[in-house]
Homo-oligomer: A and B are copies of this chain.
Amino acid sequence: MTPYEALMDHQRETEVLGQIAGRLGWDQETMMPRGAAEQRGEELGVLEGMLHARRTDPRIGDWLEKADASDPAGEANLRHIRRSFERAARVPARLAQALARETSVAQGKWAEAREADDFAAFAPILTRIVELKREEAAALSGGGDPYDALLDDYEPGATGDTLSAMFDALRPRLIALRDRCLGATRQPAALDGTFDTERQLLLSRKLAVAFGYDLDRGRIDRAVHPFSSGSGMDVRITTRTDPADPFNCLYSTIHEVGHACYEQNIDPAYLFTPLGQGVSMGVHESQSRLYENQLGRCSAFTGWLHGQMADQFGDLGMDRDAFYGTVNRLHKGFIRTESDEVQYNLHVLLRFDLERRMISGDLAPRDLEDAWNARFEDDFGYLPPSASKGCLQDVHWSVGLFGYFPTYTLGNVYAGCLNAAIRDAIPDLDDHLAQGDPTPATNWLRDHVQVYGGLYRPREVIARATGSEPDEGPLLDYLEAKFGAIYAG
């Protein structure tokens, strides 16, 4: 066996264990009996310990030194393995254990604090986690920018400075667009009524298939939070239902189908290698957002969906045009996950700036609530009424996810670029979407993005697919055109 083969053999078993851990995670959210939580925690702890031991196995260093790749896939494999090995080696075991321990406690504290609307109850453990994350960032960065070192875990190659420049260009135009929409004379109506949840699931299943999700290699279940899980031949999604809000179920499903199709469409030869998964959070989110928004919420597709809704739930009391406005309606809210295409990114930009300041040491975690509210008022024009609708709304920081939030907006930026390229490549796409058929677009994404898995670097995937380096321009143009028209009245 060559050193490369030995390395890939070792990696294959690691990837299999990772897939298995993912499957147990799915089980935990969908099927696991309530009383099994503690035992499952122990099982996952052992599995994570094994995974950590495998990822830091000193033989990897030896193999990497001697391994030669014979093709671009081999080079990409070595790049991924080297990056993961070097990152893992830089974090002392003591620190990794402390992070695992504190974040597992913090998640519970966060849930309690949010329930009680009490930021002060969460501040001490948040302070401890930020301390540990700063320590981790310093260890990972090797003298470079600490925030970049965290960001790199979710979006290899991205830096806080380049994202910051991109986000600074987004912010004023998004705020202006938001103000213009909310200030318009004619506002789209909110959806009213009660919608049978079984029929929501039926329709969301139909949408999943229309968007290319292969149910022979996946399944849809209900869970508290929608998510996608698994790779290759077994990629499962969850959705949720709310009788008052069928869009939640339908668009959560389309969103997760975007993630799932990315995984299902990766070249099967990459299974159980580092190339066998989506290459970054940003690129992953570009797929889910494009499926959900640029395709799922465009006028041609909602025209078709309007008929489907009527079939399932009876007359909606509005025509296709009004329905299109309703699907894309902006409202004055507080919650990121409930916001629309325009305001969503403002929510993310706020979090990006605050977490960057916490990691740099410029913002003390105990001052987070004040900083959040001040910034929220700047961007949205009003104050959150409570911490649970402000800085306590997201779980991310409590579980140690710093550097994760910006990939949401980066995904939207990538989706903007890809959407422009798709519209160029498929001029009659709307004719298909108006029949409920997004496959010309999803096939294009499959062939230009998804099939490559981890072969190219994140920005490179987008640049290769679109023919130019990604930037925020296409997203802004798209949003201004779309929402300018909806709120023209």
Chain A residues within CB distance 8 Å of chain B: 12-13, 16-17, 19-20, 23-24, 27, 31-36, 38-40, 42-43, 46-47, 49-50, 214-219, 232-234, 236, 271-272
Contact = CB atoms under 8 A, between A and B. Distances in A.
Contacts of A217: 33, 35-36
Given A43-B16, A46-B12, A232-B39, A23 B33 contact: no
A114 to B, nearest CB: 26
A35 B264 CA distance: 11
A53 B108 CA distance: 37
Nearest to A39: B233
Given A13-B50, A31-B219, A46-B13, A234 B23 contact: no
A236 B32 CA distance: 9
A33 B271 contact: no
B272 A40 contact: no
- Pick from A16, A40, A214 the residue with the most CB of B within 10 Å: A16
Contacts of A219: 31, 33
Nearest to A231: B39
Contacts of A215: 33
Nearest to A14: B46
Contacts of A39: 232-234, 271
A234 B47 contact: no
A73 B10 CA distance: 36
A216 B46 contact: no
A57 to B, nearest CB: 14
B34 A216 contact: yes
A234 B16 contact: no
Q: Is the interface of A mostly helix, strand, loop or mixed?
A: helix
Contacts of A34: 216
13 contacts: A16-B43, A17-B46, A19-B43, A20-B24, A20-B43, A23-B24, A23-B27, A33-B216, A33-B217, A33-B233, A35-B216, A39-B234, A40-B234
A216 B219 CA distance: 24
Contacts of A16: 42-43, 46-47
A356 to B, nearest CB: 38
A316 B31 CA distance: 36
A19 B36 CA distance: 13
B214 A35 contact: yes
Nearest to A214: B35
- Pick from A12, A36, A38, A271 the residue with the most CB of B within 10 Å: A36
Nearest to A234: B36
Nearest to A217: B35
A19 B49 CA distance: 16
Nearest to A221: B31
A113 to B, nearest CB: 27
Nearest to A16: B46
- Pick from A12, A38, A39 the residue with the most CB of B within 10 Å: A39
A40 B234 CA distance: 8
A272 B42 contact: yes
A205 to B, nearest CB: 14
A233 to B, nearest CB: 4
A13 B54 CA distance: 14
B47 A233 contact: no
Nearest to A45: B16
A217 B32 CA distance: 8
Contacts of A218: 33
Nearest to A30: B31
A233 B46 contact: no
Contacts of A43: 16, 19-20
- Pick from A33, A214, A272 the residue with the most CB of B within 10 Å: A33
